[in-house]
Structure 1
């Protein structure tokens, strides 16, 4: 029997408001309801939402320390100093480094970049990276997507007469590093109006501020928004406010004028239609990430900064090959992790999952944590051995503050960082049992039973005859989707199956459903939902929760339901 999910149906706006918005912008009442639930209630707000303007981006100089950062960067360039661009090894870090390096190379002859080795140095600023800057006679390091907690490392750099400009978006500690400038909208003393920029987004604001200060046409900065869009998608930051604007224009560049590396990546991914945020999350992002997971993220930066298409294609194929290797590791380790949970009675009854295996590949433990949550819905930490320590990736369930829970157990940890939904940590191997027990106790105390039930958030019920090409055309203009503006999920009731559903690759379900009248039908696909076949075959009526997407097959386009859940009426 498939695990039951809880359906959360969005509250219904007043009918008068739905009617007025539908009339003013000439759209279906179902779409008006969705817009109203996202704070859009009139023509002007709808215009801003559907037609984002780059002019609505915030002044970068509103960010704390921005004038100081720009002044220090200009000084470095004027004095022909050597500069090191330093970033993390994930997608946000790799795109950040590629963006900053691509921009500064026109202004700096002695420019280098550095990404730490995931397996040797671990996350964030490393002493080895600072020593590399020293070796190259760099007097300035610009860190991207990391550095906000690197107090000791920045002190070390200062002792070597190397300045730091930190561009980060993670939560800071009470004490900040003694850098020349610390750019992070999440600083308590930072008045910047939008707090949810990606690490790449913070770096972009530095570039934008530099262009303003030097009176360089801002389109030089906007040319980099393709990389910012990928970072926004892959780092799962809110796609609202300024991020929505940056992602919108970044996607426009990806679709109409992609840089050679992104063009090659699209080709290697086999994507032929318009690129969406979803493609960045599920096709391009994992390939970029695979470089740092399986080998070294330098490869991703080489790809994203490639000038010639031939070179980019070769690197893209290499990166795709590493992604295939990553998938193999992911599947095998997930299988081992699930077996460990299911063979241990005490783990099955726990409110959290903490697993350690010294042989698991460090590059995929975050993915494995997410996979485990799909089967056992609770906060999960997957750990492996690296440099004689236990290193782990943690993922949370909806509504539970993972970072706070880990912080409550910090006495067992040597290092940790992250946010409410995801985190990383390092500890001594002999501390694992104590940490696991403490973490379970914190979760037991703070998590609610409701938070342990997977949920499907549904925007609106809909009749399947309302799902038309015009409806989908307007719906697709709500893209870019992401946290804060998720792709709308619909539900339809009183449905039955037409013919016998198909099982694809032994795990996916494909079926055609019809409404009560029998006149309207549509195809649906449920990935990993093969176990539902018997249930719906033996049912007179059922409800579906789904998103709507365009299916492309043999040159033909059709609308199709992508299933989230099935519920028997």
Structure 2
């Protein structure tokens, strides 16, 4: 594990912010590291307001989208809200359809089948629209590259409004309106919204058109916050505002679907991390194991008993997903060892009966053991399909592009991608991918990195600092949980391996002249010897609140520990 301390930001900027906010140097340093350099930027960071959201009509084509929807309502047309089977897609469909239904009944939803139709707008979905007399499709979290699909719909007299956040190709579909801040000709001030976020901007515009205020849309923000967390978009600007207020809805007055998922949790306050690791996987499990429709039904159900019934079904899907994920990961690890591939630059594994819905998760799991670009293949019809995952700072999409002669199709981004190929090309591709990775990956990228915000002493962790640190939430990309380094720690005799397999590490650490803190290191049981017998060691960690039996205490969430040389 590489430990890298972030460079100290400009001292004049830190000092200036320190004076204007009346905070300590450490707090000012953490803020400047996040690009917050002025009093007003700090005000927006610590005290975000819904009024800080941009005017939705600044987004290219928003006026056209609103006009077409209002025309559909006036003429009693049937509207189809279409979105993908992942968390961003299903929350976006739930968001837009449930809002429209508050004043217009002729609204249907459609989620494509992961296995039958695949990702994005599908011809089958358009045929469904035609069969049901639908003349307007609102596509969410997809559609920006669906040129042929939109043309197919146009032939059938069906209009498209596209709400997407992915980067467009060289040309755009001939849709009535395309809402996507990543369009070259769109000057919208913030281009990091997720698909559900774009859907919310559409709602904001529709609400303005109907003399509603932003307060009328607050109950929908639980969906938006969930999508922002799950889609790993930057936790900055509008995303941070929407996530913060969405979390409040989840904690104070969630929709029945969320209540049904979280009612047995012992935690009183859910964080964005809880949303990502508890709520999102269950929503995702529907599309992975059965069908994304189950997620939409859960999220749009307003009867608590009915919502609980959907939640129970989804809980079963999630349990199946966990079992499959564990089983396939073990099989893949065995395959790597049997093939003597532990020391390669890449991981490429294949078994024809692996479940297509979990191969992406398995790829991420394999990186925990073998830290390198990873592809997991399974049989899909008469072809092979794979999910690719990468390590920090290595562009797996570019690596796939260098192997494209062996591929039928591929798509994705720097850290995650999907691809298909003919089975006869598997070995050729595997060899070429290994060659490309071995020639292009920098040596340091083959070891996981922990990026440290600041070096501190335990004495720096006081009530005031924790109070301010809590206001840095919600955390996410571009505003990650601060990671600290503290040197010369000693365990006070409580070092213990915990968990059924003794794979976790629990400590109670002190530094000279400081009070002690409980510390937990997940999957760090193998580091036990470093901390035992009153030896000095260094640690990198984040600070969190631990809630147990109704009691809340501070603890250090260890990321790594190292003995003194």
TM-score of the superposition, structure 1-length normalised? Answer: 0.95
User: Does 1:292 pair with 2:313?
Assistant: no
Find the counterpart in structure 2 of residue 272 from structure 1: 267
Change in Cα spacing, 1:339 to 1:469, as seen in structure 2 (3 Å) is: farther
User: Are residues 1:25 and 2:24 paired?
Assistant: no
* 1:502 pairs with one of 483, 496, 501: 496
1:563 aligns with 2:563: no
Q: Which residue is 2:544 aligned to?
A: 549
| 2:420 alignment partner, one of 416, 426, 432 | 426
Map 1:169-184; keep pairs closer than 5 Å.
Answer: 169-184=165-180
Q: 1:370 aligns with which of 352, 361, 364?
A: 364
Offset of residue 470 of structure 1? 2.7
Contact 1:493 1:543 survives alignment (8 Å) = yes
2:436 paired residue among 429, 442, 448:
442
Shift of 1:149: 2.0
| Pairwise CA distance, 1:533 | 0.7
- What residue in structure 2 maps to residue 77 of structure 1? 73
Measure how far apart 1:415 and its partner are: 3.1
User: Deviation string for 1:510-562 (max 9, x for gaps)?
Assistant: 11112134x52111111111111123326721111111110111221110011
Kept in 1, the 8 Å contact 2:30–2:453? The answer is: yes
Distance (Å, rounded) in 2 between the aligned partners of 1:243 and 1:401: 25
Does residue 335 (structure 1) correspond to residue 330 (structure 2)? The answer is yes
C-alpha distance after superposition, 1:214-251 (max 9, x if no partner): 43333333332111110000011111111111111111
Q: TM-score, normalised by structure 2?
A: 0.95
Counterpart Cα distance in 1 of 2:183 and 2:14: 39
Provide the C-alpha distance between the structure 2 equivalents of 1:161 and 1:396, rounded to a whole number of angstroms.
42
Does the CA contact (< 8 Å) of 1:170 and 1:418 recur in 2? no
Q: 1:485 aligns with which of 449, 457, 479?
A: 479
User: Does residue 234 of the first structure (1) align with residue 230 of the second (2)?
Assistant: yes
Instruction: Identify the residue that residue 257 of structure 1 maps to in structure 2.
Output: 253
Counterpart of 1:314 in structure 2 is: 309
State the alpha-carbon separation in 2 of the partners of residues 17 and 168 from structure 1. Answer: 37
1:171 and 1:419 in contact (8 A); partners too: no
Name the CA distance, whole Å, in 1 between partners of 2:531 and 2:410.
46
Question: Which secondary structure state, in structure 2, belongs to the residue aligned with residue 120 of structure 1?
Answer: coil
Paired residue secondary structure (1:152): helix
Indicate if the aligned counterparts of 1:80 and 1:109 stay in contact, CA closer than 8 A.
no
Q: 1:325 to 1:564 in 2, by over 3 A?
A: same
* Distance (whole Å) between structure 2 residues aligned to residue 198 and residue 109 of structure 1: 27
For each residue in 1:485-513, what CA deviation from the matched residue of structure 2 results, as whole angstroms up to 9, or x when unmatched?
Answer: 00111111101122142222221111111
Is contact 2:495–2:531 with CA below 8 Å preserved after alignment? no
Distance 1:435 1:77 in 2: 51
Quick check: 1:405 aligned with 2:370? no
Distance 2:505 2:480 in 1: 24
Q: Distance in 2 between matches of 1:167 and 1:429?
A: 35
Match of 2:507 among 500, 505, 511: 511
- The 1:437–1:172 alpha-carbon spacing in structure 2 relative to 1, beyond 3 Å, is farther
Q: For each residue in 1:104-139, what CA deviation from the matched residue of structure 2 results, as whole angstroms up to 9, or x when unmatched? A: 112332211011111222111122111111111111
Contact 1:170 1:419 in 2 (8 A): no
Q: How many Å separate the matches in 1 of 2:405 and 2:107?
A: 40
SS class of match (1:224): helix
Consecutive unaligned residues of structure 1, counting only runs of 5 or more, are: none
For 2:56, which of 46, 56, 60 is the aligned residue? 60
The equivalent residue for 2:121 is: 125
Contact 1:89 1:115 in 2 (8 A): yes
Report how far residue 416 of structure 1 moved: 2.5
- Of the structure 1 ranges 70-79 and 227-236, higher mean CA displacement relative to structure 2 is found in 70-79
Task: Indicate the residue corresponding to 2:381 in structure 1.
Answer: 387
- Of residues 209, 212, 217, the one that matches 1:216 is 212
The verdict on how the C-alpha distance between 1:412 and 1:538 changes in structure 2, with shifts beyond 3 A counting, is farther
Pick from 329, 337, 344 the counterpart of residue 350 of structure 1: 344
**Could you tell me whether the CA contact under 8 Å between 1:64 and 1:183 is conserved in 2?**
yes
What is the Cα deviation at residue 280 of structure 1?
0.8
Look up the SS of the partner of 1:366 in the other structure: helix
Aligned residues: 562
- Greater CA drift, 43-52 or 556-565: 43-52
1:170 counterpart SS class: coil
Distance 2:174 2:244 in 1: 35
CA contact (8 A) 1:96 1:144 kept: yes
Task: Tell me whether 175-184 or 534-543 shows the greater mean CA deviation.
Answer: 534-543
Shift of 1:285: 0.7
Partner in structure 2 of residue 163 of structure 1: 159
CA shift, 1:417, in A, is 2.3
Change (3 A) 1:220 1:428: farther
Cα distance between partner residues in 2 of 1:441 and 1:164 = 43
Aligned counterparts of 1:76 and 1:441: Cα–Cα separation in 2: 54
Cα offset for 1:311?
1.4
Residue aligning to 1:457? 451
Aligned alpha-carbon RMSD (Å): 1.8
- 2:186 is aligned, of 190, 202, 208, to 190
Write the distance in 2 (CA, Å) between the matches of 1:184 and 1:16: 38
